Amino acid sequence: MAGGAGARLWPRSTEKRPKQFIHLIGEGTMIQNTVMRLFPLFAPEDIYIVTLSSLVDVLRSQLPVLPSENIIGEPFGRNTAPCIALASIYIEEKYKEDVVIVALPSDHLIYNVREFHHSLEVAQKVASELDGIVTIGVAPTRPETAFGYIQVREGNGTLVKMYNREVLYAVNFAEKPDIDTAQRFADAGDFYWNSGMFIARISTLWSSFDAYLPDHAPLFHLIKKYFHKPTYPKMLDSMYKQMRPLSFDYGIMEKATNVFVVLSSFGWSDVGSWDELYRLSMKDAKNNAIEGDVIAMDSTNCFVSSNGKMIGLIGVEDLIVVDSDNGLVICKRGDSQKIRDLVDFMRRKQITGYL
């Protein structure tokens, strides 16, 4: 799933090159790293990517190893539920309706890849054998306000016996909490970070769309009906215009009764803000994370990233400073989530040339 805008990482993440297509951490871009992690489990011809039609060429240039026809373009961004439905149409044609689909975000950071692979293998087995929707729950290592959470409970004896207590039932989903609630979640022991990964049979997905998305499901089925017909592009555009943006979490996972959680402990982050990137970065002796041409004098606890300009800091602390060819952002550490509000303000004021 590679259609996100990454607004909280402006000015590096832009509409023409959102965060999944830029280098933030690691060797390649976020989408390149995501695909490379999957190669031991999936052949290139079995990996499909959904992105905006305007970004298809960028994606193909970054991932020439994938078949061109495996890059699926959406006319507009409509969040993850329509994204997964559209991918299911393409994949179902090549495989069968009982094939298991693994839907992954394109822009996450994962350490301990072997543990990640093991979790995906268990999740695929659960999805296939129990006809459920499966997600990966990552054990929290701190009270984090930028992530969503899943509350879990133990299953019946059969579930425990089959999967050795790695798999539990989902009870509740909680969006990004305040710090006190996040601390309570971290202390409780039955809350896990929601990784935003979804594993299910395509047949299970279609039955879930029909059951829980009565407004969207008919539109999905019309797209499916006209797939490969001459009028398909026009129909796809028309159906997407009629859809409201809807996440798979909110539209399906929070309503379904057959949701399972594979418990995992691999290192994970959605790298959703400059604060998170600061947390992940190497620091100097004064706890500054510095990239590029930067001089920091008498400054502490700052994240500073230069894209070619010389940046000088004198006597400051707890700042985030990021420059790019089209903008410069400066904010207090802890406030970088609000960069999305800044981007929204620029859109409302039609200051779009910098986005």
Distance CA 22, CA 16 (A): 11
For the domain covering 7-272, report its CATH number. 3.90.550.10
Distance CA 21, CA 71 (A): 14
**Chain segment 209-220, per-residue pLDDT in tens:** 999 999 999 999
**Chain segment 123-134, per-residue pLDDT in tens:** 999 999 988 999
Q: What is the CA radius of gyration of the chain?
A: 21
Mean predicted confidence (pLDDT) in 175-192: 88
Task: Say what the pLDDT of residue 55 is.
Answer: 95
Determine how many CB atoms are found less than 10 A away from the CB of residue 84: 23
For residues 101 and 46, the answer to whether their CB atoms sit within 8 Å is no
Distance CA 251, CA 88 (A): 16
pLDDT band at 163 (very low <50, low <70, confident <90, very high): low
Task: Say what the pLDDT of residue 255 is.
Answer: 93
Distance CA 154, CA 167 (A): 8
- With 70 as the cut, is the pLDDT of residue 82 above it? yes
Of 147-161, 162-176, 218-232, 284-298, least confident by mean pLDDT is 147-161
- Structural domain boundaries in the chain: 7-272, 275-354
Question: Could you tell me which residues come within 8 angstroms of residue 348 by beta carbon, excluding any fewer than 6 positions away?
Answer: none
For residues 90 and 73, the answer to whether their CB atoms sit within 8 Å is no
Task: Say what the pLDDT of residue 45 is.
Answer: 95
- With 80 as the cut, is the pLDDT of residue 159 above it? no
